């Protein structure tokens, strides 16, 4: 059963309830509770909605619940929710802002704007500017509400990077460290608590090899009598080309547009091949872009203990998303240039033509 909690002052909570009703047909009877600051908690329900203190709310909240936050302690509240494993969190301040006449008008009329200066409230670069001008952070003292995005083309070292960043920054995957793919960055960039993102890329010819073997393993693990695609050629032409070309998540196959979006937002692009050759150098680059102070000895230690071939041993016995994925066999060889001996010529030729902009941009031609 879906439960909805609103963390805000009673006055703002009622504005949000009204907005939910008008915009989504969600009635007051469907709101589980309003969670108000102690000094603002009325003794009786509001519009029939129970009013709880934060302590009462945390005793009843569970990970499946939906939470909207719009109080005066936004960052602290989000950090506390994350620490309790409550991750379905929404920025209620945006709902309150939409209620203002100026925002409602501009939201409706923006396609027809002819003035010289685009209204700043509609400028997606605002978030990038705030990230660029924010104060530097210290590793292992990361505020609990901050998000860090590891965005990748699948099979480009995503889990490996997440393992190193978890240890280096002292944060947890699937709480503050987010796994995402390609155009997910459009949504993630607009979250006000996204502190930084890194884009992981890889030679698409090697991606095809790794993805083929991973899907075959996945098929056998999930009860198929045999892998659905018997060979790399069949996998590539009958599955992967369609997946990349038809999916908005993969920019409808225009992977170079994803790279443009990363550059526009000032995110570092890390080639898997460079990461494998020089893990400390790649981590230093990311920390520079993210404005995070990390002792160089920590980067060296993390790079050694979580070197690609050391990961299974280092993570043995540990809990969490990354460790469990590694134990499940998600990691394979991690080799560079496997395509030279495994990739059929027809597939190589098609990649060089169909995805030429991506391959050439990253100097894989």
Q: 286 in a domain, yes or no?
A: yes
Q: 110 in a domain, yes or no?
A: no
Same-domain status, 330 and 288 = yes
Same-domain status, 66 and 159 = no
Q: What share of the chain is helix, strand, coil (3-state, %, to 5)?
A: 55, 10, 35
Would you state the structure tokens that stand for residue 306, as one six-digit string?
A: 């979580």
Same-domain status, 98 and 150 = no
Q: What is the structure's pLDDT at 259?
A: 95
Domain count, the chain: 2
Q: What is the structure's pLDDT at 126?
A: 63
Nearest to 162 by CA among 187, 181, 138, 189: 181
**CATH code for position 233:** 3.40.50.300
Same-domain status, 296 and 215 = yes
How far apart (Å, rounded) are the C-alpha atoms in residues 246 and 81?
A: 36
Q: 119 in a domain, yes or no?
A: no
Residue numbers of the domain that contains 8: 4-103
Same-domain status, 163 and 15 = no
How far apart (Å, rounded) are the C-alpha atoms in residues 64 and 194?
A: 22
**CATH code for position 12:** 3.40.50
Hey, which residues does 5 pair with through a beta bridge? 33, 67
Same-domain status, 58 and 151 = no
Nearest to 5 by CA among 55, 38, 51: 51
3-state secondary structure of 363: coil
Q: 150 in a domain, yes or no?
A: yes
Same-domain status, 176 and 218 = yes
Same-domain status, 99 and 139 = no
Strands 177-181 and 147-152: parallel
The pTM for the full model equals: 0.81
Same-domain status, 63 and 209 = no
From first to last of its 365 residues, what are the pLDDT tens digits of the chain?
789 999 999 889 999 998 888 888 999 999 999 999 876 666 667 888 999 999 999 999 999 999 999 988 899 999 999 999 999 999 888 777 765 666 667 666 777 776 666 555 555 556 677 777 778 899 989 999 999 999 999 999 898 999 999 999 999 888 899 999 999 998 898 888 899 999 999 999 999 999 999 999 989 988 999 999 999 999 999 999 999 999 999 999 999 999 999 998 899 999 999 999 999 999 999 999 999 999 999 999 999 888 877 767 667 667 777 767 766 666 666 778 889 999 999 999 999 999 999 999 999 97
Q: 114 in a domain, yes or no?
A: no
């Amino acid at each position: 059963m879906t439960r909805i909690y609103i963390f805000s002052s009673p006055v703002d909570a009622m504005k949000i309830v009204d907005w939910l009703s008008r915009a989504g047909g969600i009635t007051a009877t469907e709101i589980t509770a309003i969670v108000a600051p102690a000094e603002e908690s009325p003794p009786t329900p509001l519009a029939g909605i129970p009013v709880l203190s934060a302590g009462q709310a945390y005793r009843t909240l569970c990970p499946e619940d939906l939470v909207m936050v719009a109080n005066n302690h936004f960052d602290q509240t989000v950090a506390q929710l994350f620490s309790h494993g409550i991750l379905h969190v929404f920025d209620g301040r945006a709902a309150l802002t939409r209620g203002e006449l100026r925002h409602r008008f501009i939201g409706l009329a923006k396609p027809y704007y002819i003035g010289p200066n685009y209204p700043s409230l509609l400028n997606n670069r605002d978030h990038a500017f705030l990230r660029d001008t924010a104060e530097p952070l210290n590793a292992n003292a990361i505020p609990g509400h901050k998000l860090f995005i590891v965005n990748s083309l699948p099979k480009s070292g995503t889990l490996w990077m997440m393992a190193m960043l978890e240890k280096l920054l002292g944060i947890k995957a699937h709480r503050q460290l987010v796994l995402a793919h390609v155009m997910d960055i459009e949504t993630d960039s607009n979250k006000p608590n996204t502190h930084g993102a890194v884009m992981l890329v890889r030679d698409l010819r090697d991606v095809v090899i790794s993805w083929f073997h991973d899907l075959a393993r996945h098929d056998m693990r999930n009860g198929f009598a045999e892998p659905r695609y018997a060979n790399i050629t069949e996998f590539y032409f009958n599955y992967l080309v369609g997946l990349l070309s038809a999916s908005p998540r993969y920019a409808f196959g225009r992977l170079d547009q994803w790279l443009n979006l990363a550059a526009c937002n000032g995110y570092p692009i890390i080639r898997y091949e460079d990461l494998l050759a020089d893990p400390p150098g790649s981590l230093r680059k990311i920390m520079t872009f993210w404005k995070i102070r990390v002792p160089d000895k920590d980067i060296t230690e993390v790079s050694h203990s979580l070197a690609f071939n050391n990961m299974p041993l280092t993570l043995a016995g540990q809990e969490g998303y990354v460790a469990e994925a590694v134990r499940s066999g998600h990691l394979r060889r991690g080799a560079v240039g496997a395509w030279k001996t495994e990739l059929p010529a027809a597939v190589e030729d098609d990649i060089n033509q169909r995805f030429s902009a991506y391959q050439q941009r990253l100097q894989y031609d």
